[in-house]
Amino acid sequence: MALFVPNPERESVEELIEELSRYLTQRYRDAEDELIREVAKRAVRDFRLASLLPEADGGMGMTAAERRERNRVLAELAAHRATSLRELQARAIQIVSDLRREDLANRVIGIAASEGEAAAAAALRFAGSLTPVTGTSSQAVAMVALSLESRLEVLNQRLARYPQDAYQRIVAMYSPNTLLGVTTSRIQQASAVQRFLAEGIPGFTDRGGRRWTIGAYAEMAGRTTVNRAFNDAGIWRMQQSSIHLVTVVRGLDSCRKCAAWAGKILSTDGTPAGPRVLPHATREQAVTVDIAGTVEDARAAGWNHPNCRCRLVAYSPGLTVPQGDTTYDEAAEKERAQQRALEREIRAAKRREAAAMTDTDRAKAAADVREAQADMRDFIRRTGRNRQSYREQLGFADGR
């Protein structure tokens, strides 16, 4: 990762969240694509060798020369498969080792925490409430870094297992016994291999019933923990200056749950919900502040969910004007969902193209890519939304 300098004047935390989650996802997308290419390359070689086997059943009716050729191809197949399994295992181990050595979780969370702390310090300095402190927010976000590290390790384990498992499954699709039968044609078998490779590395289903693949999960984990670290580091910096109230600034296209908390005043020190008479931030008078609850109360109610972009800013009694826009834009959320669906169609077609076993299948998939991209261009023209081309690349499919 290039040198990153905290920018307290960054236009929005959304920019930071997208930048860091995109970097994290790119690393895992590249790892996934490389492993799929390695498997596909060996699968094509395996398929071609298996196709050389004579079609007579079990050697019956073969000449001596045909039996010798069959035995030669079988021996070459066995040697190729043994070598392929060793090579795929070694490559997977190397890729995962490289990812672990980069220490991505701590690096990404460290950047998010530095940005959050810098943004809070800049806001407090503007409000005249900044108190010089020593130390950093590293302890405040340590659990967030650990959470991201655990999530990435789940992906590492799937990356490590995928090549061998996928290759063995592909081999089983057109084993010699299957090829010598009459129930499945080689064309059908090639299409089955293409569909399997196009699915990418198998993910998992969370407690909410949503199925994740490598790219989608890395993106979600990065976006979620970056936002959490940004907010937690900012809270830590505010608390050092005896600021224990914050207000919620909702992210773009926020969902119904998050929009309900926009502009609400929350406590970071456990002060319960209710009206509180507090000293004015700059004058010798008191003001009544309606506290909606604690930060943890809001999170328990669904705010700051995975992929959330909302942030917290310091609240100074009598000075801070909470965000007034609490309207939930249902149309905007539906448009976002439609754009995600179009992105999935593009990625699915690209995966079919990359995993094609024949020129005909590859040409058909390429035509599907162009058609899906045309649908996206039409959608962007109609809605005026920003097109995020990086999300149309391989590795982001969420398996829906």
Q: What are residue 314's DSSP bridge partners?
A: 246
CA distances from 186 to 50, 148, 174, 356 (A): 10, 44, 8, 14
Confidence of residue 292 (pLDDT cuts 50, 70, 90): very high
- Which of 11-15, 143-147, 323-327, 350-354 is modeled with the greatest confidence? 143-147
Burial class of residue 365 in the structure, from the number of CB atoms within 10 Å of its CB (0-12 exposed, 13-18 middle, 19+ buried): buried
What pLDDT is attached to residue 29? 82
Position with higher pLDDT, 174 vs 14 = 14
* DSSP characters over 341-384: HHHHHHHHHHHHHHT-SSHHHHHHHHHHHHHHHHHHHHHHHHH-
For residue 7, pLDDT beyond 80: no
Determine how many CB atoms are found less than 10 A away from the CB of residue 208. 6
Rounded to whole angstroms, the Cα distance separating 105 from 250 reads 25
Question: Do 268 and 238 touch, CB atoms closer than 8 A?
Answer: yes
Using one digit for the tens of pLDDT, what is the confidence trace for 156-215?
998 999 888 888 888 887 655 444 444 456 666 777 777 777 777 766 676 777 777 777
Domain boundaries, the chain: 13-242, 244-327, 330-392
| pLDDT over threshold 70, residue 395 | no
Residue 399 confidence (pLDDT)? 36
Report whether pLDDT(253) > 90. no
| Mean pLDDT on 278-295 | 88
Copy the structure tokens of residue 279. Answer: 């000293």
- What 318-323 contacts at long range (C-beta under 8 Å, 24+ apart), as own/partner pairs, is 318/280, 318/281, 318/282, 318/283, 318/285, 318/287, 319/127, 319/280, 319/281, 319/282, 320/247, 320/281, 322/247, 322/263, 322/264, 322/265, 323/247, 323/248, 323/249, 323/250, 323/262, 323/263
User: So what's the pLDDT on residue 180?
Assistant: 45
What would the mean pLDDT of 37-54 be, rounded to a whole number? Answer: 82
Asked if residues 338 and 379 have their Cβ atoms less than 8 Å apart, the reply is: yes
Tell me the average pLDDT across 277-286: 84
Tens digit of each residue's pLDDT (9 = 90 or more) over 314-344: 888 887 766 655 555 677 778 888 888 898 8
Backbone angles phi, psi at 376, to 5 degrees: -65, -45
**pLDDT, tens digit, 9 for 90 and up, residues 130-149:** 565 556 778 888 999 999 99
More confident residue, 87 or 11: 87
pLDDT at 82 over 90: yes
Residue 89 has pLDDT above 60, yes or no: yes
Question: Would you say 44 and 357 are in contact if contact means Cβ atoms under 8 Å apart?
Answer: yes
